[in-house]
Amino acid sequence: MEERIFEMVKRWYAENAEYEWTRLEQDAYHMLEFIVTMHFLDKHLPKRGLILDAGGGPGRYTIELAKRGYDLVLLDISPELLNIARREIKRAVVEENVKQIIEGSITDLSMFDDETFDAVLCLGGPLNHILSEELREKAAEELVRVAKRGAPIFVSVISRLGLLKTILVESPGEVVDCEHHLEVGDYIPGLIPRKEVKGFTAAHWFMPEELRELFEGVGVEVIEIAALEGLSSHHREETNRIYEDKERWSVWVKVILKTCDHPSIIGCSEHFLLVGRKRER
């Protein structure tokens, strides 16, 4: 089953590769995921070093951090996404800072020695596509293993409660399966549950406490968890309208950043980010 899911996910990203490159800049609403993530990267990354962008797809964060002088290794399961990354890395003229581009899975980072990286990223939900609890734990262990002691680790995922709100807003016909998504959190197109989640592939939806427990269990001190769309979550039209007025947009982004770590907001956002640190021992 896991191999079938792996191929299903690869196929979906192959078919949606160009969308993945443009996803975070298609409008102001989607830009918030990038803005808030970069806020926490800026806050917690060391001033320099080698960073693993695990499951980094077309390289949006790889390129941004390379522009800031970091050295990067980009890894993803999708050759189509990595081809886009090569194209965009060249366009951005940051080839010198991107040390390797590797096709591979976050469940097996055996090509890297222990404690290789000064920081590890797993952003945008790669962990969501691992439905086996055992393999999710293995992926978390691998992400932590390759980080140096004391190094920051950043992991963002799609929220289980956020998914329920997305269904209500965008696909109310799927509400019949909301109990399944809430209680089980696993989705495989054509298998479980009855209705397909519009426009997505196999996934496990996360609760904030679940992600925290996963990484605490493999040697990570959790520093903070934040909602990536924050108060704007599921308010796409309203957010995009505010963006048209730069003064209002500036104020709203400040409000998002000041409130995104509030417990009442985190779980209901579409995506949330865990920031942790590999324990010294």
CATH number of the structural domain spanning residue 121: 3.40.50.150
CA-atom Rg of the chain in angstroms: 18
Q: Are 218 and 137 in contact (CB under 8 A)?
A: yes
Q: If 0-12 CB within 10 Å is exposed, 13-18 middle and 19+ buried, where does residue 195 land? A: middle
pLDDT tens, N- to C-terminus, the chain (281 residues): 888 999 999 999 999 999 999 999 999 999 999 999 999 999 999 999 999 999 999 999 999 999 999 999 999 999 999 999 999 999 999 999 999 999 999 999 999 999 999 999 999 999 999 999 999 999 999 999 999 999 999 999 999 999 999 999 999 988 999 999 999 999 999 888 877 887 899 999 999 999 999 999 999 999 999 999 999 999 999 999 999 999 999 999 999 999 999 999 999 999 999 999 999 87
CA distance 226 to 272: 5
How many domains would you assign to the chain? 1
Distance CA(97)–CA(238), nearest Å, equals 38
Range of the domain at 247: 2-278
Rounded to two decimals, the pTM is 0.97
Ramachandran angles phi, psi of 214, nearest 5°: -60, -50
3-state secondary structure 60-95: HHHHHHHHCCCEEEEEECCHHHHHHHHHHHHHCCCH
Q: Tell me whether strands 152-158 and 119-122 are parallel, antiparallel or unpaired.
A: parallel
